[in-house]
Structure 1
Amino acid sequence: MATDYGQGYGHDSELGFAEGTRGHRLPSALRAPFEARSWSELAYVLLGLPIGVLLFTYAVTMVSLGAGLLVTFLGIPVLAAGLAGCRGFGALERGRARALLGLEVGDPEPLRMRKQGVMGWMGAVLGSGTSWRTLLYALLYLPWSVFSFVVSVTFWSIGWSLMTYPLWFWLFPMYGGQDGLQLYGDESHHIYLDNAFEIGVTALVGLLFTMVTPWIVRALTMVDRVLVHGLLGPTRLSARVVELESDRGVVVDTAAADLRRIERDLHDGAQARLVALAMDLGLAKEKLTEDPQAAARMVDDAHGEVKTALQELRDLARGIHPAVLTDRGLDAALSAVASRCTVPVQVEVDLPARPAAAIEGIAYFTVSELLQNISKHARATWASVDVWRVENRLMLQVVDDGVGGADTAGGSGLAGLAERLDAVDGILVVDSPEGGPTRVTAELPWRAEPAMR
C-alpha cells in the first residue's frame, strides 16, 4: 500500500462494468452472476427507471390536467383518457415482467360498458378498479424504480470493477499519474491499492460483491413482482367472477346435454314403444269382433310392450334422479348402483349427516359413471367405493384392479366429469398407471341439508 504525503492528484477513479467469463462446474453462488436469469432481472431493473419516469410523468400530467378541467366537461374525457393510457402501460408492464422475470400475470377484467358509445366507454373506464390500480402503480413505481436502479447499478459496478481490478490497475500509473486505485486521500495524505496483496484482496472483495449482487437484485425484483401481480393483474374477486362465469357455462352446457339425452331416450325408447302400442291396440280393437283370438294375442303382446315401456321409463327416471337417493341417501343409492356393476364392488359410506340434495346427486352420478367405466373399459375383477367427510368437504374414492391407463385428457368421459365437478368447486384426481390399479378421488364441497329434512 503506497502512502503519498504532500500535494497529489486526489481524484476519484471511474468505476465501470467488466465482462465476465462463464465458468464451468461452478457452485450456484459463483454461477449466479453469469446466468441469464440474473442478467434479465438486471435488465428489468435498468429499464424500470426510464419507464417509471415516463409512466409517472404521463400519469401526473393527465390526472392533474383532468382534475383541473373538472369544472368544465372536458375534465371527464381527459381523466378517462389518462386512465385508459395507464391501462395500456399496465399491459406493457405485464409483458415486460413476463419476458424478463418469467412472471405470468393474467389480464385484469375487461371494461364492462353498461351502454354503448363514448359516454359508456368513459363511464366504464372511470368506474373500473383496474384503471385506478394502474394509476396507483404509476405513482408508486417511480420512487421504487429509482431506489432499485441505484442499488443494482452500484452493487454491480462495484463488484465487477473491483473483481477485475488486477486487469486494469496499470491504467493509473500509466495514464492517471498515481500508483493505483485511491482508497483514501486528503490534502496531505493519500492511500493507494498498488501491491500484489492489496490487488488480490481488492479482487476478492469484488468477487464477494459480484456473488451477492444477483441475489440483491433478485430480492428487489420480488417487490416488482408483488407490484405487478397486485396492481396490474386480476383481483381475487374478479378472477373468482371469471371462474364462476366459466363454471356457469359448463353447468348450462351440461344441463342442455342432459335434456337432449332425455329427449333422445324418450323419442327412441318409450315414445316409440307407446306409438307402436297404440297402433297394436287399434288393430286389436278392429279385430275384436271378427277374430277374438287374434285380438287377444295382440292385446297380450301389447301388455308386454307396456311392461317394457314402463321399465324404460323407470330406468330413465333413475338416470335423472333415483328415488332411492332421495328416500334413503347415498349409502343405499350407491349400493344399488354397485349391484348393477359387472364386477364385485365393496361400498363403504361413512357420513355423519346428509349433504345438500344437489351435492348428493353429483356424488351419486360421479360414482355411477366411474362404475360404468369400470364395467366397460377396466377389465377389473373387483372395485371399491369409499365415501367420507373431511371438515367441509365430501370425499369420494373409487378403486379398481383393472388395466389402468385412464386419464382426464380432453374429450374423455373423465374430462367431462372433471368439468362437472369443477362447476361446483369440486376436484377430480385420477391416479391410473399402466397396468393398474386405478384410483379416482373426487372432492366436493359439503353443504348441509336444510334442517327440515
Structure 2
Amino acid sequence: MTASTPSSPAVSAPVPAAPDDDRLPPPRFAFEAWTWKEIAHLLTNLPMALAGFVYVMTVVVVSSALTITVVGLPLLAMGLMGARLLGRFERNRARALLGVRVDEPSSLPLRRGPDGFLGRMWMAVKDPVAWRTALYDFIRLPWGVLTFVTVLTSLFVLWPVLPFVARALSNVDRAMVRGLLSPSDELERRIAELESDRGVVVDTAAADLRRIERDLHDGAQARLVNLAMGLGLAKEKLLEDPDAAAAMVEEAHGEVKLALQELRDLARGIHPAVLTDRGLDAALSSVASRCTVPVKVTADLPSRPAAAIEGIAYFTVSELLQNVSKHSGARSASVDVWRSRDRLLIQVRDDGRGGASLDGGSGMRGLSERLGAVDGLFVVDSPPGGPTTVTAELPWRDRGPDERPR
C-alpha cells in the first residue's frame, strides 16, 4: 500500500509579455532638467559672486579714496555704469538657469542730462539701478560660498535630498534677483520717460521759437521796414508833390493793414484770443470755419481745462484739420471733444482716402510726441480707402484762479 501525499494546489505565475525587441529603455537622468539647471546656477554662484565682490570693492574703495581729486567722481560714475552691465549679466543668468523673468530696468538717460558733462556724470553717480546692483554683488560673496559648498557636498553625500536642497537655495536666489535686480516699481521707468519727454518739449519749444522768428523776419518786419521807407519818401515829397505824397501815404496805409493781419495770424498761431476768451468750443469752431472741408464740431465740456491742456488740444485739432484740407480728399469731417473722468478726449474723423500713419510724415509723428510729452495718447486709424479716425487723449487738469479770463 503506497501512501499518497496530498497534492498542493498549483500556482501559475504570470508569463511576462515578450518585448517587441531586445532594446533597453533609453537612459534617463536621476533629476529633472530644472534641477540640473538650479545646481549649475548654485555652483556658478561662487565665481560670479567673487568677481562681482572684487569689482564693487575696487570701484567703491578706489573712487572714494580719489574723490579729493578730479578723477574720483568720474571713476565712480564709470564704475557704476559697469555695475549696470554686471546686473544685466546676472539677470540673463537667472533667466536661463532659474526661469526668473525680470524686466530690464530703463536705460540711464545720459544724453539729456542737465548742466552738460557734470550733470550727466552726477546722474550716473546717483543711479539707483547701479547702486542696487552693487549691493547685490557685495552681499553675494558669503552666499556664493555657502551655496557652492552645500551643493558640492550634497552631490557626494546627500544625493537623495539634493533636489530639495537645490530648490530651497535657488528660491533664495530668485528672491534676491527679483528684489535687487528688477526695476523699482514704475517710478524709475517714469523718471526715464520724463527725461526723454522733457527733451521733446525743449526741442518743440525751440522749433516754435524759430518759426515765430522766421515769420516775424520774413513777414511783418519786412512790411514795417517798407512802410518806414515809404513814409520817409512821402515826407520828402509832401511840399514838392502833394499828390505823389498822398499816393505814397495811401500805399503805406495798405501796408499797415497787411502787417496788422500778419501779426494777428502770428498771434493766432501762438495762442488765439478766441481760445483765451471763449474756450475750446468757440476756438475749434473758428478753426473749422477755415477748413476747406465742411466740419461739424461737437464739444461736451462741463468746464474749461487748464490753459496748457486747452492750448495743446486746440493746436492738435488745428493741425489735424490742416491735414484734412491738404491731403485727405474728404467731403466732410467732424470734431468731437468731451471729458471722460480725468481725461480730455478728442476725435477727428473724415471720409477721405485714408492711408494716414505715424510713419507717413513728421506732422503726425510730431503730434504724437507732443501729446506723449504731457502723458497723453495719440492713435491713428486710417485704412486705405478711409475713413480716417484720429483719437487724442490728454490728462484733464482744472483751471487755476490765475488762468481765468478777465
Query: Do they superpose with TM above 0.5?
Result: yes
Give the 3 Å change call, closer, same or farther, for CA 257–378 of structure 1 in structure 2.
same
Equivalent position of 1:52 in the other structure: 45
Report SS of the residue matched to 1:253. helix
Residue 388 (str. 1) matches residue 348 (str. 2) = no
2:220 touches 2:259 (CA, 8 Å); kept in 1? yes
Residue 351 (str. 1) matches residue 348 (str. 2) = no
Residue 312 (str. 1) matches residue 262 (str. 2) = yes
324-333 or 283-292: bigger deviation: 283-292
Within a 5 Å distance, the mapping from 1:16-31 to structure 2 comes to 16-17=28-29
Equivalent position of 1:134 in the other structure: 133
Give the 3 Å change call, closer, same or farther, for CA 83–386 of structure 1 in structure 2.
closer
Report SS of the residue matched to 1:289. coil
- Mind listing any 5+ residue stretches in structure 2 that lack a counterpart? 1-12, 15-26, 67-71, 161-166
Report SS of the residue matched to 2:253. helix
1:98 touches 1:104 (CA, 8 Å); kept in 2? no
Aligned equivalent of 1:412, options 357, 362, 365: 362
Which letter maps to 2:89? L
- Residue by residue over 1:3-53, the C-alpha shift from the partner in whole angstroms, topping out at 9 and shown as x without a partner, is xxxxxxxxxxxx7439xxxxxxxxxxxxxx9xxxxx8x8886464223323
Residue 93 (str. 1) matches residue 90 (str. 2) = yes
Residue 256 (str. 1) matches residue 206 (str. 2) = yes
2:102 touches 2:182 (CA, 8 Å); kept in 1? no
Within a 5 Å distance, the mapping from 1:17-166 to structure 2 comes to 17=29, 45=38, 47-57=40-50, 87-96=84-93, 105-106=104-105, 109=108, 129-134=128-133, 137-138=136-137, 139=139
Cα distance between partner residues in 2 of 1:363 and 1:334: 9
Offset at 1:241? 1.6
Report SS of the residue matched to 2:384. coil
Offset at 1:124? 7.2
Offset at 1:122? 12
Equivalent position of 2:327 in the other structure: 377
- Residue by residue over 1:333-353, the C-alpha shift from the partner in whole angstroms, topping out at 9 and shown as x without a partner, is 001000000011111111111
2:106 touches 2:188 (CA, 8 Å); kept in 1? no
Q: What is the root-mean-square deviation of aligned Cα atoms in Å?
A: 4.6
226-235 or 368-377: bigger deviation: 226-235
- Mind listing any 5+ residue stretches in structure 1 that lack a counterpart? 3-14, 19-32, 34-38, 159-216
Equivalent position of 2:310 in the other structure: 360
Residues paired across the two proteins, number: 343
TM-score (norm 1): 0.63
Cα distance between partner residues in 2 of 1:324 and 1:308: 21
Cα distance between partner residues in 1 of 2:79 and 2:200: 38
Which letter maps to 2:42? L
Offset at 1:55? 3.7
Offset at 1:85? 7.7
Offset at 1:90? 1.1
TM-score (norm 2): 0.70
Higher relative contact order at CA 8 Å, sep ≥6: structure 1 or structure 2? 1
Aligned equivalent of 2:388, options 430, 434, 438: 438
Which letter maps to 2:390? V
Cα distance between partner residues in 2 of 1:256 and 1:66: 40
Equivalent position of 1:231 in the other structure: 180
Cα distance between partner residues in 1 of 2:36 and 2:379: 41
Equivalent position of 1:240 in the other structure: 190
- The percent identity for this pair of structures is 60
